[in-house]
Chains A and B, each alone.
Chain A
Amino acid sequence: MNNVSYADQKIGSREMVIIIANAVIGVGILTFPRSIADETDAFDGWISVLIAGAAACLIGWLLGRLASRFPNHTFFEYVALIAGRPFAYLLTLLFGVYSTLLASFEIRAVGNIAKQYLFTTTPVEMITLAFLLIVQYAAAGSRIALLRLNLLFLPIVLLVIFMVQVYTLRFLEWENVRPFFSSDWMSLLKGAKGVGLSLSGSEIVLFYTVLMRRPQDAPKSVIAGLAIPILLYMTIYMLVIGVFSPAVAKNLTYPTIELAKGVEVPGGFIERVESLFFTIWIMTIFNTCTIWFDLALSTLRSMFTRLSKFAWILILSPIVYLIAMTPQNLIQFFAFGDRLSYFGAVIAYVIPVLLLAIAKLRGVKDSG
């Protein structure tokens, strides 16, 4: 039945671009203007976004190079080729933990934001549980279908954010933007670190390259995939600062959603657009979340092959749910997210880049 050629379980380069973009766009984009505004003065954060974007592209490109060096091997297999099986077990396990934690983070984020913007009385436990069930359903299907969902939802999400940006343009005030170039380099770099952490997601290329029809395009796809969120971050940052001023942006939990508050649909057909905006935003958070859930499943399954996928879903879901429920308040939740990002930076960026260097030096290549 799979002899119909596109019914093969492969993804094209363009699809990879969209998947990377969707993995990066998630919860971080809703909060990042706050973390920049904390560090930088006035309007200078755009330099931070630029620095962070360039760094993310560089690392993403290196990760793409590493993955496309071994087009026919899974992550576990090529790490084992480069650094030996014990290390491969360790790193894959760490990646499994990282993906599980990220899935939990996204799920909890949906719970938190939905509680703030959609219903205040429904307990966050139930909101989260409903979301987890949908994620499970997606994970239970085929991997390729899960990735294809990205193609469906990203255009909707991009359209909505674009419309929000166009509508809020008229609230832009020049006083909020000035003075230019007043921050020093250290604070700019600190801001860049904050953005960089919410630009994570391109590490999925390490795992999904093996599914690509042309794996040699992986590095290019990562760059193109990162370009979309970087552009979005840039414009959203400028609008948030221009509309709210840095002082206000510092004190907003979700500045990007607040931006949508200013939108007035012509004719007054719908009020309080920010609720609707977040409702649609759930789609992209869902995509990010399923990607991480799927990666948690696949990394664990690549090591423990005995259990079926369905069994792993049943094992993993309660764990994800419990971790998601652990933070007691928003402060703990964001602290959890920050620590998670540092953890991710080490295992998803530093170690793979080192692995690439080792592979280059030792000349390890795909034998097949």
Chain B
Amino acid sequence: MFRKYMRPTKTMASQLKRRPQQTPALSTPLFARLEENLSAIKQTLGNPQDLIVRPFTIDNASQACAVVCIDGLVDSDLINDKVVKHIQLMLPASGKTLPPPGEEMLTFLLNEVLSTIEVKRETTFEAMYDRVLAGDTALFVDGAAQTILIDSRGWETRSIDEPVSEGLVRGPREGFTENIRDNTMLVRRRVRDCQLRFDTMTVGRRSKTDLIIAYMQDIAHPAIVQEVKRRLATIDVDEVEESGFIEQWIEDDFLSPFPQCQVTERPDKVASALFQGRVAILLDGSPMGLIVPVTLSVMLHSPEDFYERWIVGTLARMLRYIAAFLAVFSPALYVALVTYHPGLIPSDLAFSIAATREGVPFPAFVEALLMVATMELLQEAGLRLPKPIGQTVGIVGGLVIGESAVSAGLVSPVMVIVVALTAIASFAIPAYNLALTFRMIRFGVMFAAAVFGLYGVVLTFIAIFIHLANLTSLGVPYLTPFAPQLLHDWKDLVLRAPVTFMRKRPETAQPTDDTRMKTGDAP
């Protein structure tokens, strides 16, 4: 029924395409006269303060030149040392015979004088603006309807830090930054393989953000790579701020509460995903990479499962699957047991729970709703506040509200325990976006428990799994390898087999080359 709303990509994209293109003046070729070019640039950009236009002459003032760049985006030392200095000081000193002014002079400068690696000729305003606004420097020569674009990007960036949202005890401490070059470097340092592909594209009609699709040419299934590219190509909007934007464009089902891309700021996670035949999407300006396709089980795994020995890894994983269950169902189970099935609780405990609930004026559902909602508030508030105050929220919320709510008789102490357990369980989920999903679903399950008790809980459990069985991430069923069953992949699921056992790559992403280690190589 909702099929027609499920695919926003096509309809929205076609609506956007109908809009008129940008001002045609941009696609006009550059002028031959220097002054005309410079005044056109100033006019188009609105002559901002950070626009640097430096005119100069060479060959005894017979040839007028100019460099144009944006202050802050460029490495000004590089422009000084490698461009201006070379042309103004070293060229006259070298004693070379200079060609006549105009295009020949430009070719001469490009081939013999400029000593930077990345230089390019452009003939239109549009191409020139694209590069200059991205941090290149344009060198104009009077008389030539061309410009030389020198790669001089060198803005201030954050240094590579420890990933904030995915901390580990054991494992690399490097996290992605906002600079896509740093990020590709971090990935390539881990994957020194000539089959690694970084396919580049630009998204955002105006923001013109760089985007990189990373995959292993001989491992990733071509259909998956192709589908990723097809979906990315449909993106047609003004600005793309964060990879979350990409995620929401390419996901299979936008009505689903479950995330359909894995979000990570760990290059080691990206690298291991690439080796499994999955596709990573990196966006300039965002320290969060996306990995597709994703399955529910992958989101419950952490790289540490592999860095620690397999026994520890296995136990940690089992713990996390239990945590996922508790994060969703424990308040609902409390409501169901207390409201409908006190007979299921051991009689001693049932009496003591009843005794603590003696003064509580609300039914268990309202009590649970109150506490879980407070917990949500605390989490949200703690997130927004600066770090030092954030801790205060924890103390005020956790200790003061919890303790005094009990002594004021608003909630029972058992409820506080249940809520605390739920919160801790949801913190144990390695994927933050999945934990968010669990937090949302929790309310629905609680409501079902309030109406139908344990029966309601099991019905919502079934409903969640119906949804998950229907959900796909880039065409890959979300519950792989549970359903469809890929028994081979179960070595790396709830149990994490010793690394020497895993001779084949997981089949989940359908790798075209499935051999991870040659038989006999393992000790």
| Chain A residues engaging chain B, CB cutoff 8 angstroms | 1-7, 11-12, 14-15, 114, 118-119, 122, 127, 130-131, 134, 137-138, 140-142, 145-146, 148-149, 151-153, 268-272, 275-276, 279-280, 282-283, 286, 310
Give chain A residues whose Cβ lies under 8 Å from the Cβ of B425: none
**Can you give 30 A-B contacts (C-beta < 8 A)?**
A1-B227, A2-B475, A4-B221, A4-B223, A4-B224, A4-B476, A6-B507, A7-B476, A12-B484, A14-B485, A14-B487, A130-B455, A134-B463, A134-B466, A142-B470, A145-B469, A145-B477, A148-B469, A149-B469, A151-B482, A152-B469, A152-B482, A271-B345, A272-B344, A276-B344, A276-B454, A279-B458, A283-B461, A283-B462, A310-B1
Given contacts A134-B462, A279-B458, A283-B462, contact A7 B346 (CB under 8 A): no
- Supposing A118-B340, A270-B346 touch, asked if A15 and B462 sit within 8 A by C-beta, the answer is no
Whether the pair A141, B466 counts as a contact (CB closer than 8 A) is yes
**A142-B470, A276-B344 known; A3 and B454 CB under 8 Å?**
no
**Complex Cα–Cα for A5 and B509 (A):** 10
SS class, residues of chain A in contact with chain B = helix
Q: Which residues of B contact A119 (CB under 8 A)?
A: 340, 453, 455
B483→A7 contact, CB < 8 A: no
- Among B452, B454, B461, contact of A275 (Cβ-Cβ < 8 Å): B454
**Which of B224, B453, B462, B480 has its CB near the most chain A CB atoms (within 10 A)?**
B462
A24 to chain B, nearest CB (A): 19
Interface residue? B213 (CB, 8 A)? no
Q: How far is the CA of A282 from the CA of B462 in the complex (A)?
A: 9
Residue from the list A118, A149, A275, A276 in contact with B465, Cβ < 8 A: A149
A286 to B368, CA, bound (A): 29
In the complex, what residues of B have CB within 8 A of residue A7's CB? 472, 475-477
Does B347 interact with chain A (Cβ within 8 Å)? yes
Which residues of B are found within 8 Å of A12, using beta-carbon distances? 484-485
B224, B452, B467, B487 interface centre (most CB from chain A within 10 Å): B452
Q: A127-B455, A153-B465 are in contact. List 13 more A-B contacts (CB 8 A).
A: A1-B227, A1-B474, A6-B507, A7-B475, A118-B341, A138-B466, A149-B483, A151-B485, A270-B344, A271-B343, A271-B345, A271-B346, A272-B341
Contact of B458 with A152 in the complex, beta carbons under 8 Å: no
Q: Is the CB of A15 within 8 A of B475?
A: no
Is B331 an interface residue, CB under 8 A from the partner? no
| Separation of A270 and B349 alpha carbons in the complex (Å) | 10
Residues of A within 8 A of B354 (CB): none
Question: What B residues does A272 contact at CB under 8 A?
Answer: 341, 343-344
**Cβ contacts under 8 Å, B462 to chain A:** 134, 138, 149, 153, 282-283, 286
Inter-chain contacts of A118 with B (CB < 8 A): 340-341, 453-455
A3 to B222, CA, bound (A): 9
B479 touches A (CB below 8 Å): yes
Q: Shortest CB–CB separation between residue A274 and chain B, in angstroms?
A: 10
Is B486 an interface residue when CB atoms closer than 8 A count as contact?
Answer: yes
**Contact residues in A for B465 (Cβ distance below 8 Å):** 149, 152-153
Cα distance A149–B477 in the bound complex, in angstroms = 12
Q: Are B347 and A131 neighbours in the complex by a CB distance under 8 Å?
A: no
B495: interface (CB < 8 Å): no
Question: In the complex, A17 Cα to B479 Cα: how many Å?
Answer: 19
In the assembled complex, which residues on chain B have CB atoms less than 8 Å from the CB atom of A280? Answer: 458
**In the complex, chain B residues whose CB is within 8 Å of the CB of A137:** 463, 466
In whole angstroms, what is the CA distance A122 to B345 when docked? 21
In the complex, chain B residues whose CB is within 8 Å of the CB of A268: 346
In the complex, A283 Cα to B458 Cα: how many Å?
A: 8
Q: Is the CB of B466 within 8 A of A282?
A: no
Which residues from chain A contact B475 at a C-beta distance below 8 Å? 1-2, 4, 7
Q: Check B510 for interface membership: any CB of A closer than 8 A.
A: yes
Which residues on A sit within 8 Å (CB–CB) of B467?
A: 141
The smallest beta-carbon distance between A276 and chain B, in angstroms, is 7
Q: How far is the CA of A282 from the CA of B221 in the complex (A)?
A: 39
Give the residue of A14, A130, A283 whose beta carbon is less than 8 angstroms from that of B452: A130
Which among B340, B455, B459 has the greatest number of chain A C-beta atoms within 10 A? B455
Q: Which residue of B lies closest to A127 (CB)?
A: B455
Q: Is there a chain A Cβ closer than 8 Å to B456's Cβ?
A: yes
Partner of A148, one of B346, B452, B458, B477: B477
**Bound complex: CA of A272 vs CA of B453, how far in Å?**
15
- Write out the residue numbers on chain A whose beta carbons fall within 8 Å of the beta carbon of B340: 118-119
> A127: which B residues are within 8 A, CB to CB?
452, 455
A142 to B478, CA, bound (A): 14
Nearest CB of A to B408, in Å: 30
A149 near B458 with CB under 8 A, answer no
- The docked-state distance in angstroms from the alpha carbon of A271 to that of B345 is 6
Residues in B with CB closer than 8 Å to A148 are: 469, 477, 479, 483-484
Task: Report chain A residues within 8 Å CB of B479.
Answer: 148, 152
Residues in B whose Cβ lies below 8 Å from that of A130: 452, 455-456, 459
Q: What's the least CB distance linking B82 to chain A, in Å?
A: 49
B466–A149 touching, CB < 8 Å: yes
Selected from A5, A14, A134, the residue in CB contact (under 8 A) with B459 is: A134
Who on chain B is nearest to A265 by CB? B346
Q: Which residue of A lies closest to B350 (CB)?
A: A271
Interface centre among B1, B457, B469, B477 (most CB of A within 10 A): B469
B473: min CB distance to chain A, Å? 10
Q: How far is the CA of A275 from the CA of B341 in the complex (A)?
A: 9
Q: CB distance B484 to A6 under 8 Å?
A: yes
A333 to B3, CA, bound (A): 39
The 4 A-B residue pairs whose C-beta atoms are closest, nearest first, are A148-B483, A145-B469, A141-B470, A151-B483
Is A3 within 8 A of B223, CB to CB?
A: yes
In chain B, residues 1-41, which have Cβ atoms closer than 8 Å to a Cβ of chain A? Answer: 1
Chain A residues within 8 Å of B507, by CB? 6
Give the shortest distance, in Å, between B474 (CB) and chain A (any CB): 8
Closest CB in chain A relative to B503 CB, distance in Å: 20
Task: Give every chain B residue within 8 A of A114 (Cβ-Cβ).
Answer: 455
Least Cβ–Cβ distance between A186 and chain B, in angstroms? 42
Contact partner of B486 among A1, A6, A122, A270, CB < 8 A? Answer: A6
Task: List the A residue with the shortest CB-CB distance to B221.
Answer: A4
Interfacial chain A residues near B347, Cβ < 8 Å: 271
A184 and B126 alpha carbons, distance in the complex (Å): 97
Q: Which of A6, A11, A146, A149 has the most chain B CB atoms inside 10 A of its CB?
A: A6
- Contact check, A275 vs B344: say whether CB atoms are below 8 A apart: yes
Give complex CA distance A127, B487 in Å. 37
A272 nearest CB across to chain B (Å):
5
Q: How far is the CB of B296 from chain A (nearest CB, A)?
A: 11
User: A269 to nearest B CB, angstroms?
Assistant: 7
